[in-house]
């Protein structure tokens, strides 16, 4: 019989909760969404910005939840705690305390989710692995992911994000990673942080949760590397490992090239040389994969196993996924980068798109606002003009108030069109696209370009 995620007694011991007519003796999954429940689920009624989970407890139980963790309300199959989110954190602490897994924490301005997924791919080739899903990397996502980790896991990978200072520190202290990865530092969340140095200091909070003797793995390809190295030293990090294209790093990327939707490089670590190949285009993707190779090796995974796993690693939905729609002889090539964007990821995506050829038609980019850049937003958007030109796009459709600045920088003419919202842009974009074209969609998630991606798929996918 498979060991459950938590017994009821373990839940009560971890949370100090009181059970009210709970019939289940164990739970095997945890959810905060009444519509998405795993087997023998515990529904945790956390209060979010838009919804209060307590309003959906009855729905969750009706949908098959074994019990609900609540801080108010009466009824059967409820476990009462002072605060539901606090109870979830308690379960996360309990899951971490019993775990013998090698734990990795990942943060950074760009590439967190891709690096986390690359690590998941590598570790799954070596043993039982638990990893964060999607981008569940905030004050509720991290404890939810940690609480879901089974006692039998051999590896755990957790993504940690932030919008302001003092947000990663408590997450890292909860996860207590053995290895902490910082993918890079780039202009993101400038609205609340104000400078790249402040962003670096906020990301460096991950070092404060490292287990004694833990390892920091840091991308060196940015001006804030010295700040991160000093922060690691101040936090008492036992070992610091660097990676990137820069000279003198511990894991150096050489001979990088992209061919179609694959990328290749030689990775040098001391006297060892590794041939790295991945199923996704871009120098930035090679950097993420190199981080995964370095971490896996530090974790004791055979490099040959890691390299074989990475060879099958491909782009994630909304993060460079290439989709051929329609007839094979003349498809519409859709590159979906709609999940998120800042200046670094936008420039990288445009660079990759520059190497893409349309199957038989024109090339188009659809770019949405990069959010949370504060007062610097206009200049950062305007500063993308050269990257757009270098992408060899035949047309640029720009969505969002700040993208108007990019339109101005590109100059007058028929090359670019600006729209305030996705809904405003959608009719013209769909009417302009045709089979044989190549189109890249890139913007911050809050702009809603995923709606446009869905509409393109619906129109051009042959059924």
Q: How far apart are CA 370 and CA 380, in angstroms?
A: 9
Here the tokens at position 261 are 């939707």
Neighbouring-strand partners of residue 416? 396
Here the tokens at position 55 are 């309003």
Q: What is the pLDDT of residue 14?
A: 98
Q: How far apart are CA 63 and CA 71, in angstroms?
A: 20
The CATH number, out of the four listed (3.10.20.30, 3.40.50.2000, 3.40.1390.10, 3.40.50.2300), of the domain defined by the range 6-84: 3.40.1390.10
Q: Which fold has domain 99-311?
A: 3.40.1190
Closest CA to 245 of 293, 286, 199: 286
Residue stretches of the annotated binding site for ATP: 108-114
Dihedrals phi, psi of 123, to nearest 5 degrees? -65, -35
Q: Where are the domains of the chain?
A: 6-84, 99-311, 321-460
Q: How far apart are CA 90 and CA 212, in angstroms?
A: 22
Here the tokens at position 416 are 């670019």
Residue stretches of the annotated binding site: 108-114
Superfamily holding 321-460: Mur ligase, C-terminal domain (3.90.190.20)
Q: What is the pLDDT along the chain (463 residues), one digit of tens a residue?
A: 589 999 999 999 999 999 999 999 999 999 999 999 989 999 999 998 888 999 999 999 999 999 999 999 999 999 999 999 999 999 999 999 999 999 999 999 999 999 999 999 999 999 999 999 988 999 999 999 999 999 999 999 999 999 899 999 999 999 999 999 999 998 877 778 889 999 999 999 999 999 999 999 999 999 999 999 999 999 999 899 999 999 999 999 999 999 888 999 999 999 999 999 999 999 999 999 999 999 999 999 999 999 999 999 998 888 889 999 999 999 999 999 998 888 999 999 999 999 999 988 999 999 999 998 988 899 999 999 999 999 999 999 999 999 999 999 998 666 889 999 999 999 999 999 999 999 999 999 899 999 999 999 999 987 6
Q: How far apart are CA 109 and CA 201, in angstroms?
A: 12
Closest CA to 306 of 241, 239, 260, 251: 251
| Residue at token pair 């011991």 | 13
């Amino acid at each position: 019989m498979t060991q459950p995620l938590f017994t009821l007694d373990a839940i009560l011991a971890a949370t100090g909760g009181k059970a009210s007519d709970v019939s289940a003796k164990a739970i095997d999954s945890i959810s905060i969404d009444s519509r998405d429940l795993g087997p023998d689920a515990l529904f945790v009624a956390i209060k979010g910005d838009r919804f209060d989970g307590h309003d959906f407890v009855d729905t969750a139980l009706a949908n098959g939840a074994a019990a609900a963790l609540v801080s108010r309300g009466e009824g059967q199959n409820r476990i009462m705690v002072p605060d539901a989110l606090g109870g979830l954190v308690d379960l996360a602490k309990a899951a971490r305390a019993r775990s013998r897994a090698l734990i990795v924490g990942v943060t950074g301005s760009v590439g967190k989710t891709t690096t986390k997924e690359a690590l998941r791919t590598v570790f799954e080739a070596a043993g039982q692995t638990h990893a964060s899903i999607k981008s569940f990397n905030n004050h509720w996502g991290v404890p939810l992911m940690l609480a879901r980790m089974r006692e039998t896991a051999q590896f755990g990978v957790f993504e940690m994000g932030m919008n302001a200072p003092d947000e990663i520190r408590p997450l890292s202290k909860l996860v207590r990673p053995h290895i902490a990865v910082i993918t890079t530092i780039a202009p993101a969340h400038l609205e609340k942080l104000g400078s790249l140095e402040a962003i670096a200091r906020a990301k460096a909070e991950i070092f404060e949760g490292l287990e004694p003797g833990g390892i920091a793995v840091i991308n060196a390809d940015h001006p804030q590397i010295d700040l991160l190295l000093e922060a690691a030293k101040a936090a008492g990090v036992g070992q610091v490992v660097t990676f990137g294209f820069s000279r003198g790093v511990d894991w150096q990327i050489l001979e990088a090239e992209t061919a179609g939707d694959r990328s290749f490089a030689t990775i040098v670590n001391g006297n060892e040389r590794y041939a790295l190949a991945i199923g996704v285009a871009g120098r930035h993707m090679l950097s993420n994969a190199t981080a995964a190779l370095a971490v896996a090796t530090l974790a004791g995974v055979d490099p040959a196993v890691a390299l074989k796993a990475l060879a099958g690693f491909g782009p994630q939905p909304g993060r460079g996924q290439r989709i051929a729609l329609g007839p094979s002889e003349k498809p519409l090539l859709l590159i979906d980068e709609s999940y998120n964007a800042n200046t670094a990821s936008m420039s990288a995506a445009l660079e990759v798109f520059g190497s893409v050829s349309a199957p038989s038609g024109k090339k188009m980019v659809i770019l949405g606002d990069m959010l949370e850049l504060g007062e610097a937003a206009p200049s950062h958007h305007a500063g993308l003009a050269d990257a757009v030109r270098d992408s060899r796009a035949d047309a640029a459709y720009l969505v969002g108030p700040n993208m108007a600045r990019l339109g101005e920088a590109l100059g007058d003419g028929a090359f670019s069109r600006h729209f305030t919202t996705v809904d405003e842009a959608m009719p013209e974009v769909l009417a302009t696209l045709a089979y044989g074209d190549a189109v890249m969609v890139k913007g911050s998630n809050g702009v809603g370009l995923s709606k446009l991606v869905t509409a393109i798929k619906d129109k051009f996918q042959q059924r």
